[in-house]
Amino acid sequence: MTTPKIQFARVSCAFVLQGQEFRAVNDLDLDIADGEIVTLVGPSGCGKSTLMNMAAGLQEPTGGTVRVDGKPVSGPGPERGVIFQQYALFPWLTVAQNVGFGLEIKGVPAQERARIVARCLDLVGLTAFADALPKTLSGGMKQRCAIARAYAVDPAVLLMDEPFGALDALTRVNMQEQLLATWARDKRTILFITHDVDEAVFLAHRVVVMAARPGRIHEIVDVDLPYPRTEDIRLSQRFQDLRNRVWHAVYHQH
Amino acid sequence: MTETAIQDDGLARRHALREREMRRKLLALNLLAAVLGLALWSLLSFIDLAGLPGPLSVASRAIQLIANGQLFVDLAASIQRVLLGFAIGTALAIPVGFLMGWYTWARGLMEPYVQFFRTIPPLALIPLAIVFLGIGEVPKVFVITLAAFLVSVISTYQGVVNVDRVLINAARVLGAGDAAVFRRVIVPASTPFILVGMRTGLGAAWSTLVAAELIAAQQGLGHRMQQAQIYYDLETIFVALITIGITGLLMDRVLLWLDQRLTVWQERR
């Protein structure tokens, strides 16, 4: 068996909140294969974001190990691209400078940097806004800029924490389709948190439904729908069945 | 798929027009306020309230002081003290504020002193400054420096502490280490706070000036007023007061302009 791209091995993460221990994630095992898209859904407090932060290296597990490409995660690194719900663009940099940020940190020479930035902006359709400041962009454009910024450093995996959560329904569907179109080209491993059951099913190979107190995996739903995922698939009976199953797993856990 | 620019030219133009209209109205009201103020002043001096000099006699004294160069000598001396104190105070405050915001140990070491000295008006240190530093330029600049420092250090520190955690994380996941996070995120993100601190610091420096010039000065607007007070020369006091006000306003405008240039990226409400 090949090594999983992302592996959570008996991972726990506990906090002390007001003198009480709070188990955000408890003894969790999950393997994500190379090129796989896994979505995480579950009630608030189920540890989705904690799980992602541990993979990103922003949060240290209190037990177990998170491995990416077989190597234990210790701290953040550019091989794991993270996309935050709040976009987290640097407001003092232009769109192009934001996208080039990681490359500059890496020490990529200016000329090559400009080439990569141009390619990534083209990928998300923001070429015309290269010199705009983030404050002038709409929510969808900001998130596309954040996605381009993550792509620019060419990460092996993408960790996305409710990236489309703040967008309107139309923009959201649009962004989902773009994400899948990009994935179809590069087959990058994606771990994606969402509150939206439709989104979870539409994107994923597998939907991981989590439960809270303590944070754990409740059920894993395999999505046996083919890619590319078209509108027909979104409106199909099979999609409805799967989303109903995920819905029940999320909203009726007892 | 590219977005079409969300700019409607007609709408933008109408908006600009309305803005200009509004600014004109405000300016007219400002002028009206000035005229009314002058009228009230004239009236008060006309009924001879406590020997108050009228605008005309103050203006003629101003012309006299400009003509014989005295005003510029005083103004130059005062501005030099303020700018020197402000520059030293800010230059110290920014690194200290960064240290306090970034390192817990620095905060623990310095915060008690900063908080303690904040409760003492810098002017209260003048007697002590005279004892230790004599009556030359040093105690004057020292007191002004302290005033500017205490204001700037707090806002720089606040700026660093208030940097959005998400931005720091965003930089870290893109490969930034501590040094890069500091230089590329903390510094730009706290710039607006630093500039606010500089503006209030300049105000504090300027308002400390007059009292600082009570320390045996030979020139300076504060010294001039003190001299004028001895000779009951109210016109000269008024000229000095108005000069202080105008100069302070101009310096503040320069910093405001700088602020707007450096922080165009901010979302303003």
Looking at the structure, tell me whether residues B160 and B111 fall in a common domain.
yes
- B267: pLDDT confidence band, cut at 50, 70 and 90? confident
Cα separations in angstroms, B159 against A27, A86, A134, B78, B114:
39, 20, 20, 30, 16
Asked if B266's CB is within 8 angstroms of A90's CB, the reply is no
By C-alpha distance, the chain B residue nearest A59 is B169
Phi, psi torsion values for A124, nearest 5 degrees? -100, 5
CA angle A160, A108, B192 (to 5 degrees): 65
CB contact under 8 A, A82 and B3: no
Closest CA to A165 of A192, A199, A143, A194: A194
Residue B184 lies in a domain: yes
Amino acid A237: pLDDT: 95
Q: Residue B139 corresponds to which amino acid?
A: P
Q: Which residue has the tokens 């103020």?
A: B37
Q: Which among A58, A90, A127 is the nearest to B172, CB-wise? A: A58
B173/A57 touch (CB, cutoff 8 Å), yes or no: yes
Best of A101, A133, A161, A171 to substitute, by most chain B Cβ atoms within 10 angstroms, is A101
Second-level CATH architecture of A6-79+157-251: 3-Layer(aba) Sandwich (3.40)
Could you tell me if B99 and B190 lie in one domain?
yes
Q: Is residue B3 very low, low, confident or very high in pLDDT (cuts 50, 70, 90)?
A: very low
For chain A, the structural domain boundaries read 6-79+157-251, 92-154
Chain mean pLDDT for chain A: 93
Cis peptide leading into residue A134 (ω within 30°): no
In this prediction, residue B2 carries a pLDDT of 43
Nearest-angstrom CA–CA distance, A108 and A113:
6
Give the closest-approach CA distance of B167 to chain A in angstroms.
5
CB contact under 8 Å between B173 and A105, yes or no, is no
Q: Are residues B149 and B39 in the same domain?
A: no
Of A65, A197, A176, the residue nearest A208 (C-alpha): A197
B28 with B107, same domain? Answer: no
Evaluate if residue B1 carries a pLDDT over 60: no
Distance CA B157, CA A189 (A): 41
- Nearest-Cα distance to chain A for B23, in Å, is 24
Our count of domains for chain B comes to 2
Q: Which residues of A touch B172 (CB under 8 A)?
A: 57-58, 75-76
pLDDT value at position B126? Answer: 86
Residues B117 and B15 in one domain: no
Same-domain pairing of B116 and B248: yes
Q: Which residues pair with residue A72 across a beta bridge?
A: A67
Residues of B in contact with A82 (CB under 8 A): 169-170, 173
**Eight-class DSSP state of A36:** -
Is the same domain home to B32 and B128? no
| Pair of tokens at residue A5 | 């791209």
CB atoms within 10 A of CB A31: 15
Q: Would residue B2 count as lying in a domain?
A: no
Across chain A, the runs of DSSP E, i.e. the strands, are 6-17, 20-32, 37-41, 63-68, 71-72, 80-83, 157-161, 189-193, 206-211, 216-222
Nearest to B167 among A90, A129, A133 (CB): A90
Q: What residues of chain A lie within 8 A of the CB of B188, using their CB?
A: 90, 92
Inter-chain touch A149–B2, beta carbons under 8 Å: no
Per cent of chain B over pLDDT 70 is: 96
Whole-number percent of chain A with pLDDT over 70: 100
- Verify whether the Cβ–Cβ distance A91 to B266 is below 8 Å: yes
Mean pLDDT in residue range B148-156: 92
Q: Nearest residue of B to residue A101 by CA position?
A: B174
On whether the CB atoms of residues B84 and B140 are closer than 8 A, the answer is: no
Tens digit of each residue's pLDDT (9 = 90 or more) over A107-146: 999 999 999 999 999 988 899 999 999 999 998 899 999 9
Overall average pLDDT of the B220-245 stretch: 91
CB contact under 8 A, B169 and A57: no
Q: Give A-chain residues touching B266 at CB under 8 angstroms.
A: 91, 135
Residue B224's domain comprises 53-262
Gap between the Cα atoms of A252 and A173, Å rounded:
26
Nearest to B174 among A78, A92, A133 (CB): A78
Instruction: Tell me, yes or no, whether B176 and B210 share the same domain.
Output: yes
Residues B184 and B161 in one domain: yes
Question: Which of A148-152, A236-240, B49-53, B225-229 bottoms out in mean pLDDT, i.e. has the lowest?
Answer: B49-53
What pLDDT sits at residue A45?
83
CATH number at residue B177: 1.10.3720.10
Asked if B267's CB is within 8 angstroms of A105's CB, the reply is: no
Which residues in chain B touch residue A101, judged by CB atoms under 8 angstroms apart? 171, 174, 184
pLDDT per residue over A23-52, tens digit each? 899 999 999 999 999 999 998 888 899 999
d(CA B263, nearest CA chain A) in Å: 7
Quick: pLDDT tens for B238-264: 999 999 999 999 999 999 998 888 888
Same domain (yes/no): B109, B62: yes
pLDDT in tens, A159-207: 999 999 888 889 899 899 999 999 999 999 999 999 999 999 999 999 9
Confidence of residue A213 (pLDDT cuts 50, 70, 90): confident
Tell which residue, B147, B160, B146, has the closest CA to residue B99: B160
- The reply to whether B128 and B250 lie within a common domain is yes
pLDDT given for residue B187 in this prediction: 93
Q: Would the pLDDT of A71 be above 80?
A: yes
Q: Which residues of B40-67 are buried (b: 16+ CB within 10 A; e: fewer)?
A: ebeeebeeeeeebbbeeebeebbeebee
Confidence of residue B266 (pLDDT cuts 50, 70, 90): confident
Question: Which pLDDT belongs to residue B5?
Answer: 47
> Is pLDDT above 70 for A228?
yes
Instruction: Please give the ipTM for the structure prediction.
Output: 0.90
Contact criterion met (CB < 8 Å) for B173 and A82: yes
* pLDDT computed for residue A252 by the predictor: 86
Q: What percent of chain B has pLDDT over 90?
A: 59
In total, the C-beta contacts within 8 angstroms joining chain A to chain B are 81
- The answer to whether the CB of A34 falls within 8 A of the CB of A158 is no
Question: Which residues of chain A are at the B interface, by a Cβ-Cβ cutoff of 8 Å?
Answer: 56-58, 75-78, 80-82, 84, 86, 88-93, 101-102, 105-106, 125-129, 133-135, 138, 141, 149, 153, 174
Residue B269, pLDDT score: 56
Is residue B193 domain-resident?
yes
Percent of chain A with pLDDT over 90: 80
How many CA atoms lie within 13 Å of A51's alpha carbon, on the beta-carbon side? Answer: 41
DSSP 3-state of B215: coil
B36 with B108, same domain: the answer is: no
B154 three-state secondary structure: helix
Taking contacts as CB-CB distances below 8 angstroms, the residues of chain A near B191 are 92
Residues B84-105 pLDDT 10s? 999 999 999 999 999 999 898 9
Q: Which two tokens stand for residue B64?
A: 């006299």
